[in-house]
Chain A
Amino acid sequence: MSKHFGRQSVRFENPVYIITTASTVGPKEGEGPLAEFFDIILPDSLCGEDSWEKAESKIVKDTFGKALSKSKLSQENIDYIISGDLLNQNSGSTFAIRDMDIPFFGIFGACSTMGEGMSLGALLIDGGFANNILVGASSHFCASEKQFRFPLELGTQRTPTSTWTVTGQGSAILSNNTNEKCPRITAITTGKIIDMGITDANNMGAAMAPAAFDTLNAHFSDLSLNPDYYDLIITGDLGYVGHDLVLKMFSEKNMDLSKNYSDCGILIFDKDKQDTNSGGSGCACSAVTFAGYLYKKLKDEQLNKLLFVPTGALMSPTSAQQGETIPGIAHAIAIENI
């Protein structure tokens, strides 16, 4: 029987366990509401390195190391690393794993990278092509500002719709085998590129919300599910603006998601105390929220059916300067305690 459902979804037949996760965050995230759930909170954003980019790679390396030590697996047991970030040419990931003797797939999905990585990892494991896969995604506020916006010390104002790039890395180890009860990836819905003509790079929530809406709709129809099947549906980094837009788009279809829908960008910061405007963003936003907070809730069975939907805005500084609109993407991962 085919495992592919509808246009975009896959339901896994073989178990894909998330056997462990690890997370590292920067000092600002460490002062946020989810601080207690992270493995490592950095005392400073440079992490002992001399540039933001090197710091990001160090964070990636250390978090992968943490995930391996928590899982008690050695490097030889990992068949693939699937990892990505926001830096040019994915250097955050590739430079981090130079010393690791593990086959590597580097991916770019902007801030949806964790979702893309978990999807590909789950497909590989269900297909029997791997036993254990290390998945991760990272971002660094200072490195992102430098690459996508302005130098840090420039005295500019942020608009109320702008989001704050999360510094950190979230890792997860996917496996076909476990000794203890672990949450399983049961289905995925792979997003399409959706571009509704938003050009404001300071309103990425609005650019990505249609992609999240499209993927969620595809997920529900491909797999014949209602939104209330899930204990929690959580998007990656739409922030307050994007979250509100998704709710409105569903309400136009007479569907109410307000009871069980949230966004990692809303949870990770306290917007009033931390001056983060519309919320958190970046690859690490969904990655650390999942690896820290959501995984703990799944393990403790406070959540049993989670739909994790990392979202990405696929623009580059060049495309923005050329006046291009911002294409969005969202990948849905169904994670359940079975």
Chain B
Amino acid sequence: MQDNKAKYQKMVEKSSPNTNLILNCLNAFWTGGLICVIGQFITNSFLNLGCDIDIARTITSVILIFIGILLTGLGVYDEIGKIAGAGSVVPITGFANSVAAPALEFKKEGFIFGVGAKMFIIAGPVIVYSTLTSVIVGIFYYLSK
């Protein structure tokens, strides 16, 4: 039986078309890059208005998050994601999308058990493990000083 399973697995690999890695990488590169360029444009604009660099960066994040959520609500972000892949997942707009999409989807189950409970089903692990990682990095930083 194990032999059969291994043999079948090989057969499946041969029959299953692969994703086009090069095309996907290229699309992720230009779309992700474009989002970053937009972010940089917003930051520079605020710097030109005389804002402090930290303030300019914070405002940029807020604006990009807003755009990400707005495009999710309008049903556009998932269409972008089809082409962009990681290009629209990795930037902060993708993070906004990953929170807004479940919030929209589970609205019908109410604000407590729907929106409230399900909002972070995708972003939750990212938050948990990025916090954990930052703690570990913090400890190393403390010890290295």
Contacts and interface: CB of A to CB of B under 8 A. Distances in A.
A189 B12 CA distance: 25
B134 interface: no
Given A153-B77, A154-B81, A155-B81, A210 B8 contact: yes
Interface stretch (B17-25, B51-59, B124-132, B136-144): B17-25
B4 A146 contact: no
Interface in A138-168: 146, 150-161
B15 A206 contact: yes
Interface string B100-122: 11101110100000000000001
A88 to B, nearest CB: 12
A138 B143 CA distance: 60
A198 interface: yes
Name the prevailing secondary structure of the A interface residues: loop
Contacts of A155: 72, 77-82, 84, 88-89, 94, 97, 101
- Of the candidates B17, B19, B75, B82, the one having the most CB atoms from chain A within 10 angstroms of its own CB is B17
A196 B3 CA distance: 10
Nearest to B104: A153
Contacts of A198: 9, 12
Contacts of B145: none
A244 interface: yes
Interface string A249-284: 100000000000000000000000001000000000
Nearest to B8: A196
B43 interface: no
Contacts of B4: 196
Contacts of A11: none
B16 interface: yes
The bracket for how many chain B residues form the interface is 35 or more
A241 interface: yes
Contacts of B11: 245, 248-249
A203 interface: yes
A150 B9 contact: no
Contact of B82 (A157, A161, A206, A244): A157
A143 to B, nearest CB: 10
Given A146-B105, A157-B24, A152 B78 contact: yes
Given A152-B78, A153-B75, A248-B15, 20 more contacts: A146-B105, A151-B104, A153-B73, A153-B104, A153-B105, A154-B81, A154-B98, A155-B78, A155-B79, A155-B89, A157-B81, A161-B16, A196-B4, A196-B5, A196-B8, A198-B12, A203-B16, A241-B15, A241-B17, A245-B12
14 contacts: A51-B108, A151-B102, A151-B105, A152-B104, A153-B101, A154-B97, A157-B81, A157-B85, A160-B18, A198-B12, A206-B15, A241-B12, A241-B15, A248-B11
Interface of B: 4-5, 8-9, 11-12, 15-19, 24, 72-73, 75, 77-82, 84-85, 88-89, 94, 97-98, 100-102, 104-106, 108, 122
